[in-house]
Every structure is written in structure tokens, then in C-alpha cells.
Structure 1
């Protein structure tokens, strides 16, 4: 059972702190890989930490589960946390996200969409990101455009 689901058995909808990781994956054309969610929004591949995992292990596991790609040589860009990362999801669960944002160009494998988690995967030019990119994910990407696209 995923850790956050285990916690929810005890705290119900009360706010909890949930750590996780996302990865900015660039291809050879300096385009960023985005994952389309079932609600039509776009975001970075990633997810929540399970017991015993490091932020880097979360990043690698989640990218593989959601895209079929193996990532390596991850560079930590920042950890985002605080009141700006409070969420109340549709079922009433409340959380404060603590998100490690990584970057890599070191990708192997064949892209495969896990349709239980994604509606699609696509590479985008940094200057033509989809309007439906979640503001939180846009905030993870935009501060680093100038240093990532060299």
C-alpha cells in the first residue's frame, strides 16, 4: 500500500506533509517531457515518496512507472515547500507538498504510457509550453529555462 494511503487511514482528510519528486527530462532538441493528466492538465513525470526511499529513488521509480523511461545522472535543482504548496484535492484530502525537482538529459528505454496514470506524454519546446500546464509545474520549470537550455 502506498504510504499516503496508509496515513489517510488514520488522519482522514486532515492536512499531511507529502514528499515527492519530479524530473525535468530534456531530449536532444532541448525539449521538456510533459505528462498529460486525465483531467487535461499537463505536468512533469514524478510522484510521492514511499517509506525508505530517497528523493532520487522516488524520481527514478516514478519516471519509469509513468513513462517506461530510465533516468540517470539526476541533478537536484531545488526543493519546493511551504504554504504555496498546500492542496485540497477533489475528495477533500488536504496536503502540503514537499517536492524535489531534478533535471536530466540521461534517458534510456522506450517511452510507454501508463494509461492508468497518464493520458499522454509529449516533448515541448520551453517557449511553447501548453496552456494547460499546471501553475505549480510551470513554477518548477520556468526558473531554470535559461540554465537548462544552453
Structure 2
């Protein structure tokens, strides 16, 4: 049983504070890797922090699990938190997420979708993102695009 499932068995649908990480994997041409979730929506690779794990470790682990890619260089972008990151899920679970956003242009391995994690992986130009996409992921991508410098390695 996962940590979140264990806590849910105790608190039911009540508000749960969750920390996690998402990663923008960008190619040299600027295209961004997106994952189509099992519910059909598109999002960024990433997931929830496990007990004892750092946010960086979460980012690297989740990318490996979902894409089969190994991140060689991970760059921090920002932390997103607050009331606007509170959601009620379809199953009535209430969550408030704290998300560390990272990006990488330096990875290795063969891109391979894990069908237990999502339906497909595909690179998209940032000005033509697929729909449907949760606003949370659109916000992260917009932030990334508006704050990246010419070097793609530094943020304001």
C-alpha cells in the first residue's frame, strides 16, 4: 500500500497536503515532453514525494518510471503552492499540492511509455499544447516559458 493510500484509509476524503515534483523535459528545438494520462488528459512527468525522499529524488524517480529516461542534469524552476492548488478529485478526495517544478535538456536512455502510468508520451511545441490539459500543468509550462533565459539554464 502506498503512503497516500495508507493515509487515505485513515482520513477518508478529507483534505490531504501532498508534496511532489514535475519535470519539463525540453528538446533542443524547444518541444516539451508530455504524458497522456489514463483519463485522457495531458500533463508533465512527475508525481508525489515518498517518505524520506527529496524533491529532486522524486523528480528523477518519477521521470524514470514514466518515461524510462535518466535525467543527467536537473534544474530547479520554482515551487507552486497555495489555495489555487487545492483540488477535489473525481473520487471526492480533497488535496492541496505543493509542487517543485524542474526542467532538463540533458537526459539519456530510450523513451518508453509505461502503460501502467499513462497512455502515451509525445513531444509538443510549447505554443501548440494538446487538450485536454489540467490548468495546473498549463500554469507550470507558461511559467517555464516566461522565465527562461536565452541559455535555457538559468532563471530570473
Shorter-chain-normalised TM-score: which range?
over 0.9
Kept in 2, the 8 Å contact 1:3–1:49? The answer is no
Q: Secondary structure at the match of 2:127?
A: helix
1:6-57 deviation digits (Å, cap 9, x = unpaired):
1112111110100000000011211110000122110000000100000000
Q: Secondary structure at the match of 1:73?
A: strand
Unpaired segments ≥5 residues, structure 2: 151-156
Aligned-CA RMSD value: 1.3
Q: Match for residue 13 of structure 1?
A: 13
Q: Structure 2 length as normaliser, TM-score? A: 0.91
Q: Match for residue 154 of structure 2?
A: none
149 and 110 in structure 1: CA distance in 2 versus 1, 3 angstrom threshold: farther
Q: Secondary structure at the match of 1:76?
A: strand
Q: Match for residue 37 of structure 1?
A: 37
CA distance in 1, matches of 2:45, 2:30: 17
Unpaired segments ≥5 residues, structure 1: none
CA distance in 1, matches of 2:106, 2:126: 18
CA distance in 2, matches of 1:2, 1:52: 13
Aligned residues: 150
Q: Structure 1 length as normaliser, TM-score? A: 0.95
Q: Match for residue 105 of structure 1?
A: 105
Q: Match for residue 115 of structure 2?
A: 115
Shift >2 Å, 4+ stretches: 146-150
- Single out whichever of 126-135 and 49-58 deviates more from structure 2: 126-135
How far off is 1:67 after superposition?
A: 0.6
Q: Match for residue 85 of structure 2?
A: 85
Q: Match for residue 67 of structure 1?
A: 67
